[in-house]
Chain A
Amino acid sequence: MNKNPFLKTLGLTVCISLLSLTGCTTVKEYQKSRINDAEMELSARKSEKFEQNFYLYREGAAGANGGKSGGGCGCN
């Protein structure tokens, strides 16, 4: 069994992604009034932009949140 934590993490992600697709129903465009609501957008809010910057600088973990992923030292 592979003990590499990076491969385990990737493998688990792929499995969860595939499983999540099995429970979906087809939603027609005219049925998407809730899905298309501004609050339902699948990304961080514009107003979270600078909050994401300070997470990047004040914490070690970064990425996969739609925020800044590089550039700038954040060393202060």
Chain B
Amino acid sequence: MKKICISVGVLLSLFRAGYGQSTTQPAYEKRKLKVEEINLVSSYYQQDGNNSAVTGGIGTEKLTDFAQSFDLVLKTTDQRNRQHTIAFDFNIDHYTSASSDNIDPLTVSSASRSDTHIYPSLSWSVHNDNNRTTKGLAFSYSTEYDYKSYGFNLNFAKASADNNREVSLKAGAFFDTWKAILPPELRPDGYGSGAHGDRDPIDYKPRNSYNLSVSLSQVINKRMQLLFTVEPSFQQGLLSTPFHRIYFQDGGETVEKLPGTRLKLPVSFRLHYFMGDRVVVRTFYRYYIDDWGMQAHTANLEVPVKLTSFISVSPFYRFSHQTAVRYFAPYEQHKQTEKYYTSDYDISGFNSQFVGIGFRTAPPGGLFGIGHWQSVELRFGHYTRTTGMVANSVTLLAKIK
């Protein structure tokens, strides 16, 4: 009883002190921009198959990709007590691709057999606790040998009074430019190879993408929450790849030709459930349809198991089924009379499976005694496609807080 009295007394004196402070000093205390989080992600990906679109649906698809990502999140609070978040994300991929090497097999003159893809982005958002809204914008850039892209995004979210529901809207536009590298045997006279030092002209073609995302998240009960997302997108411009070859039934050869517009409609559903004290069930399903005739179903299940309070293991499985676009046919199956044609197996009909496991550790005092190094995560995955393509990936994530 004595302890309770002392506790109540201390609490009252704190309230009193707090009240007194609020009348003599402004509630706002200027806060500096501070580092909230840094994520470092490294990934190695390797694939092989025998249906490369560069060689008309036959030939090696061997590719290796080494990717690095660095993202930095900064936060501050303004005079109206709104929380500002600035995020900078820098990504770099270096890949070697046997199929790209076959664009021009005699000389290394085009996208060649290796390239570096750099794609930074910068975003800013402001969250207002009073009206439970978040507004933000982002800019992104992407560059590789034959491709450049500028992206702009706006987003808005509003949460319910009890913070159990949130509706969010995102709108984005990407303005891309292709350097139209053609296979050497199909280049018109005087058309450049695209190689450094080649002064012959080469075409540049636009590809623009616009997307709108509407999401609804809802807390169902103390252990379950879900998220619905609808994200229609529209693309226009050069949607075919200029160095993908097509071989016709009669032996003729040309490059891939696809419609100049594409409307996509993916709808997804994510449900997460905390089972008991140690197991989380993460489920995801997406239905996809587009106006090129493709429909797809994708399901993902991941079950993180907390072995201790700071070590977890997460086995995962993903299954996807897609139908072919109506313009697809394998090597030497297209007819010259067709309006559009592709032998790209990425948009053919197939089933794919991705299975793997992740390990995560987040010790209370930080990793290796470094207090700010909050966690490390390692993921392995094996991907198979019914077209015969196989891939493996390994990812390492380090989080600093």
Contact = CB atoms under 8 A, between A and B. Distances in A.
Given A42-B217, A64-B213, A65-B268, A59 B320 contact: yes
Given A27-B219, A60-B296, A40 B274 contact: yes
B147 interface: yes
A72 B111 CA distance: 14
A47 B90 CA distance: 15
Contacts of B117: 72
Query: In which size bucket is the chain A interface?
Result: 35 or more
Interface stretch (B185-193, B247-255, B258-266): B258-266
A6 B265 contact: yes
A69 B209 contact: yes
Given A47-B358, A60-B325, A69 B233 contact: yes
Contacts of B163: 29
Given A17-B228, A58-B385, A64-B213, A42 B241 contact: no
A24 B119 contact: no
Contacts of A51: 354, 379, 381, 393, 395
Contacts of A53: 67
B266 A64 contact: yes
A47 B379 contact: yes
A66 B211 CA distance: 12
Interface in A12-55: 12-13, 16-17, 20-21, 23-29, 31-32, 34-35, 37, 39-43, 45-51, 53-55
A75 to B, nearest CB: 5
B196 to A, nearest CB: 19
A27 B4 CA distance: 29
B332 interface: no
Interface string B248-291: 00000000000000011111111010100000101010111111
B227 A42 contact: yes
Interface residues of B, number: 104
Interface string B196-239: 00000000000101010100111111110111111101010000
A59 B296 contact: yes
B35 interface: no
A50 B43 contact: yes
B48 interface: no
A76 B99 contact: yes
A61 interface: yes
B289 A6 contact: yes
7 nearest A-B pairs in the assembled complex, by CB-CB distance: A61-B296, A61-B288, A70-B174, A64-B266, A70-B209, A64-B268, A71-B149
17 contacts: A6-B289, A10-B230, A13-B228, A16-B228, A25-B221, A35-B225, A39-B314, A40-B280, A42-B226, A50-B395, A55-B320, A58-B389, A59-B320, A63-B266, A69-B231, A71-B142, A72-B176
Given A47-B379, A70-B149, 19 more contacts: A6-B263, A9-B267, A26-B162, A39-B314, A50-B45, A51-B393, A60-B294, A62-B264, A62-B266, A63-B213, A64-B213, A65-B268, A69-B231, A72-B117, A72-B119, A73-B147, A75-B147, A76-B97, A76-B100
